[in-house]
Structure formats: structure tokens, C-alpha cells
A = this chain, B = another copy of it.
Amino acid sequence: MFSAELKSDTLKGLVNIISTLIDEVKFTITPAGMTLKAVDAAHVAMIEMEVREKAFESYSAEDSEIGLDLDKVKGVLKLASSGDIIRMEQDESHGRLIFKVGNITRRMNLVDTSSMSDPKVPQLSLTAHISVPVEELQKGIRAAESISDHITLRAGPDYFELSCEGDTDSVSLRLDRESSLLIDTDSEVCSMFPLDYFSNIVKAVPTGTMINIELDNDYPVKLVFDLADGNVKVNYLLAPRIESE
């Protein structure tokens, strides 16, 4: 049995993040909240999300799993205005989740989760830790888009830089320690990533969010951030693109 109410903006935030990687997801439900682990089809990126019970307006659940088609959930979100409350209720006899938004009732078939196993999330200890407003990353991505398919993240004790090198042209966005930025690293580190993945996740993060970046040399990057006043925790892991010699 699962029933919960949450703000449409909170649900929209979660769905936007997750749907950068996959369309059909399995949520693990406990009395303390919902969690999700997912990897994209190409195994390039991985997401871990925890939606705590306090992220909801009301929440009542036993241990279970729910499989959702996020495209359908996006359809429900289009029926809600910002500030609306969305009610979800499990209809176990029919294998459905019932969404209620105002006077609208939407009955949605659940996705079969029996073949969906949780990916194993690697535990990484990365050298550099940087905190940066998501708007700066979004600006760097816009600059990079016309130059190349890859983006390089680089950090030193005093700076953090996004850069992009094309055949003839290049672009970089450099942030110094002063510019509302926290940097914690003794040495210089640098890795290159596929721009489309990095762009999709960064654009899905609401403005006003602070992103914690963990970076190393030719290693995955980890993006850690909160949504919904800290009641939703997101870890996003993106594999590097190692340049062949």
C-alpha cells in the first residue's frame, strides 16, 4: 500500500532529472521515502536519488517497488500548475497508480519491475571538490555547444574551468575562488566528458541550485545536489571520455 501527496514542482524536478537517463524507472519504496538507482542504456551515466518522506506533503507506505513510465508522468505534470498538489495512490488489485490533480483522476498502468535490477554504484574517492551555482555550468554549456561534442572540466587550487577545444576555435569559462565558488584541491585535475550527457543533466537542474562537483584525472565526475529544500538527494556519475593516443 502506497499513497502520497507532493507538490507538482517537486515531482517535476525529480522527473526532469531522471528522464535525462531513462524513461522507465523502478522506485524502491519504504516508510522513510523513495529511492532510485538507474543507469542509462549506454552505461555512460548513473543516477542515485533519495526522496525523503519529508519531501512529500503527506506520505504513507510499506516496503514495495513501483515501476513508472516517466513520459506518462510528464503528461500528468502538464495537467498541474505550479503550486498544485498531486496525489498518488496505489491500486494494487489492478497494478495501477492513480494520480489525482484537482478534479482530474488519471489511472496509470505500472511498469513491470521484475526484470529491472539496481545498478551497482561504484564508491569513488575523487581528489577535487568544487561547489558552483548551476547557472555557471549552464552558461559554460551554452558556450561549448557550437564548438565540440566534448567538454573538459579542470580544477586547480584557485580556479575551476569548463573548456571546449574545436579544430580551429575554442571556448572556456573560468571561475576564480572569489566568484561564489568553493574549491578544495591541492593539485590540478582534469577530465573530459561527453557534452550531451553533461548538458542534459545540468540543464535539468533548477536554477538556484548549488552543485557539488567531485573531479579527478581521467576519472568519472560526480555531481551531488539537493532538490526540494534538501529533502531530495541526487548523486549523478558521468564516465569520462579518455582520448586515445
A interface list, Cβ under 8 A from B: 72, 75, 78-79, 96, 102-109, 136, 139-140, 142-143, 146, 168-175, 179
Contact residues in B for A103 (Cβ distance below 8 Å): 136, 173-175, 179
Partner of A107, one of B140, B170, B179: B170
Question: Roughly how many angstroms separate A169 CA and B69 CA in the complex, as a whole number?
Answer: 12
Copies per assembly: 3
Residues of B within 8 A of A96 (CB): 169
Decide if B109 touches A171 in the complex (CB within 8 Å): no
- With both chains docked as a complex, state the minimum distance between the C-beta of A199 and any C-beta of chain B, in angstroms: 15
Q: Report A7 CB to chain B, min CB distance, Å.
A: 19
In addition to A104-B139, A105-B173, A108-B169, 13 A-B residue pairs with Cβ atoms within 8 Å of each other are A72-B169, A75-B146, A78-B142, A79-B143, A96-B169, A102-B139, A103-B173, A104-B140, A104-B171, A106-B143, A106-B170, A107-B169, A107-B170
25 A-B pairs in the complex with CB atoms less than 8 angstroms apart? A72-B146, A72-B169, A75-B146, A78-B142, A79-B139, A79-B142, A79-B143, A96-B169, A103-B136, A103-B173, A103-B175, A103-B179, A104-B140, A104-B172, A104-B173, A105-B171, A105-B172, A106-B143, A106-B169, A106-B171, A107-B169, A107-B170, A107-B171, A108-B169, A109-B168
